[in-house]
Each structure stands twice: as structure tokens, then as C-alpha cells.
Amino acid sequence: MSYGPPPTPPTPNPAPRTPSPTPTSPSTAPPTTLSPTTFSPTTGTSSPTPKSCCEPESLRDLILTKLYDGDDAEVVFRSSPQKDAIEWLEQDVCDCSRESCLTDDRLVQRYILAVLYYSTNGSSWPACSKPEDIESTDTCQVQSTYGVNIVTISDDVKVSEGFRWLTCNTECEWSGANCNNKNELGVIDMEKNIPGGNLPTEVGSLSKLLVLALEQSNLQGVIPTSYEKLTKLQILDFDFNILSGELIDLSRLTKLQQLDLNNNNLSGSIVSKGWQNLTVLQFVDLSYNEFTGQIPVEIGGLTTLRELYKKMKDGQSNSVTHVNFTTSFCMLF
């Protein structure tokens, strides 16, 4: 399909490291211009961590309070992936060498990424999975478009260079994950690196997230309603997965520029999803899903929307809409 003239992709800060790039498959995701945001990775240190940091019971209480409204630990942590994530985080705070203890926000952030890792069969990732040595500084690459440490392999292929996941290194430099200059996670972007699994609800608590892109990853299940809280989000890209269920409410995602959910098994109506609030939306692709009904009339009022793709599945008969809103709005179906 043709996306028309794409916006200019963001220019990341200079990368501090340059490992040799590894060829990967081309990406089909259309680039989108992000609002100006400084991504500045922070490298960890090798000084001994104060013993006071190693307090597993306090750590569990922190996670329960911040993410689960104080629910009972035996309920939250009794099974994977939350159980695996908290056990890894306990090892992280006790065994990793740091000058000082991590802040509560950093601990929660690392835990959420660990839940994402274990929810998506991280040990089977083709690249950047957890090494045996938690203090490993080995670098790796995943196909990625946004953030820092992006290396261009060809005109259509870019990769993110960074450390392997679930190591002592700052999570802001795990490959495919980037933070702003306050060490707040702003980007999770990996393509063709997740062999399956589900989207965890915990990701909805990453309140500073700008980009959430997990394309061509065989993800199953629904898009959690907790993602409706990602009010800073500019790019949501889950195309070419196996996601099902209904489209989440978009009314709070007022900074969203790109919504790319094509080639999934999403269903139901896309009416009354808060489209009228998406005043900076530039691109929507909902094609090759199982949505029913009409294109919401509110979409016609989005003057920034460049292109809309929507294909409805109806047995052997497919109807297709391609609307270019720079010239007109047309409602079909």
C-alpha cells in the first residue's frame, strides 16, 4: 500500500557507541515526526551498591503499592511473568554494582520492562535477550526506528544499538528502549523480535512514553485498557500481530500522531472511540482486521490526518477504503 509523502523522522542525539551493524529485514512502518524531546542515555557505574539497596520485602511492597493498589503479594507474584519479573528485580538490586540505590521510579520502570520481557517470551527473542551474567555489557541490535543509538543499515532498515535486556546496565540503554534526560522511559520500539506472548497491563503505567511500537511480533490477546492512560503517546504501532478484541478508547491520547494496527484480528465497532480528540493525528491504518460498521464521522474533522486505510473482512468479500483527507472525506461501508 502507498503511504504518501511521510513526515521527516526524528533526529536522535549522537550515539555514544557504534557496534558493527548486523543486516536485518526491511521495515514497512511509515516514519512520523515526534515532538521535540531530548533522549539522553545514562550509563551505569561499577561501584559497589550500598547494602541498604538489597531489601526484597520493601521492594515488593513498593511494586504492589505503585502498580497494584496494594494487592496481596501472593496474588500478584504467584505466577509468571510478574513472578519472574520481581525475582529478577530482587537480583538486580542486590547483585548489581552501583554508586547509589535506584530511585523508586527507576525500580518501577525496570520492573515494568521485566514484565514486558517475560510476557513476550523474552528468552526466545532472536536478539538482545537476557544473558546468563546479569552484569554483562555485551551490546546487541534490534530493528527499530525511534530514539537514540539508531544506525541506518539501508534506506528502509534502521536498528537500535544497546545493551541486552535485564542486565545491570541502565534500562535507558537496553536495545529498543530509550529515556529522556530525566531517565523516564520514552521509547519502546522493536520490530520482528518478539516470537509471541501478550501485551502486559503494566506498560500502561509508563506515563512518559512517547513511542510504543512492537511490529511483526506474533503478539496475541487484547490491547489492555490501561494503555488508554498513555497520554503522552505519539506513536502506537502494533501492526502484523495476532491481537484480538476491540479498539481501546483513544480520547485521552490527544498527542497521538500515528495509529498503526493493520493485519491483526481486532473486531467490533470503531465508533465512539474518542477520535474527535486526536487533533494532531496524521496517519491511521486499521486494514486487515475484523472491524464492523462505518468509519466514524468525527474522523472527517481531523484536519491533520494525511491518510486512512481501513479494510473490512466479510467472509470472502472485502471492501476497502482509502481516504486522503488532504482533499476529501468519504464514508463507505
pLDDT digits (tens, 9 = 90+) for 47-101: 555 667 999 999 999 999 999 987 777 888 988 899 999 999 999 999 999 989 9
Higher pLDDT, 301 or 137: 137
What pLDDT is stored for residue 47 in this prediction?
54
> What percent of the chain stands above pLDDT 70?
78
**Burial call 162-175: b when 16+ CB within 10 Å, e when fewer:** bbbbbbbbbbbbbb
pTM of this prediction?
Answer: 0.83
Alpha helices in the chain (DSSP H): 56-67, 73-76, 82-95, 104-119
- Distance between CA 165 and CA 130 in Å, rounded? 5
For the chain, give the mean pLDDT.
Answer: 82
Higher pLDDT, 305 or 24: 305
Q: Which residues, 6 or more positions from 97, have their beta carbon under 8 angstroms from its beta carbon?
A: 45, 46, 47, 48, 49, 135, 168
How large is the average pLDDT for residues 302-324? 60
Counting Cβ atoms within 10 Å, is residue 300 exposed (0-12), middle (13-18) or buried (19+)? middle
Answer whether 278's CB lies under 8 Å from 257's CB.
Answer: no
What pLDDT is stored for residue 49 in this prediction?
58
What pLDDT is stored for residue 50 in this prediction?
64
For 180-200, the pLDDT digits (tens) are 999 999 999 999 999 999 999
- Distance between CA 25 and CA 154 in Å, rounded? 10
Higher pLDDT, 3 or 235: 235
Answer whether 106's CB lies under 8 Å from 183's CB.
Answer: yes
Nearest to 144 by CA among 35, 25, 253, 263: 25
Counting Cβ atoms within 10 Å, is residue 21 exposed (0-12), middle (13-18) or buried (19+)? middle
Is pLDDT above 80 for 116?
yes
What pLDDT is stored for residue 37 in this prediction?
43
- Distance between CA 67 and CA 146 in Å, rounded? 27
For 212-270, the pLDDT digits (tens) are 999 999 999 999 999 999 999 999 999 999 999 999 999 999 999 999 999 999 999 99
Cell of 248: 481501546
What pLDDT is stored for residue 319 in this prediction?
41
Q: How do strand 317-324 and strand 307-314 relate by DSSP bridges? A: antiparallel
